Amino acid sequence: MIRVNGELQNFIAATVSNLLSEMGIETRGIAVALNGEIVSRSEWSSTLINDNDSIEVVTAAAGG
């Protein structure tokens, strides 16, 4: 089990890239943090996801 944006989920994804495509997330204008550390776009495909990891996927939202 991994935690994605606060929700416990069962994903088969091995890497951050896999996870984003499995979730059907449009990758323009997003950023990813894995256990509180930012994973840059260039590292998405090489960054492995392990059991109990916590992942935040964020994007632009309206608000001043």
Partner 1 sequence: MELLEASLLASGSTIATVALRRVDPSVKGSIYDLLGKLNFTLLPNTAGCFSAQEARKVAELAREAFETNLVKLEVIGDDVTLLPDTTETLLAAKELVQAGFEVWAYTSDDLIVAQRLEQAGCAAVMPLGSPIGSGLGVLNPHSIALICERLEVPVLLDAGIGTASDAALAMELGCDGVLAASAINRALEPVRMAESLRAAVQAGYLAHHAGRIPPRVHAEASSPMLGRPDLFAQ
Q: Which of 8, 41, 45, 48 binds partner 1 (CB under 8 A)?
A: 41
What is the phi-psi region of residue 45: left when phi exceeds 0, alpha when psi lies from -120 to 50, beta otherwise?
alpha
The correct pick among 1, 10, 51, 60 for binding partner 1 (CB under 8 A) is: 60
Phi–psi pair at 28, nearest 5 degrees: -70, 135
**How near is the Cβ of 8 to partner 1 at its closest, in Å?**
15
User: What's the gap between Cα 39 and its chain centre?
Assistant: 9
Question: Which x/- pattern over 11-30 shows residues binding partner 1 (rule: CB under 8 A)?
Answer: ------------xxxx-xxx
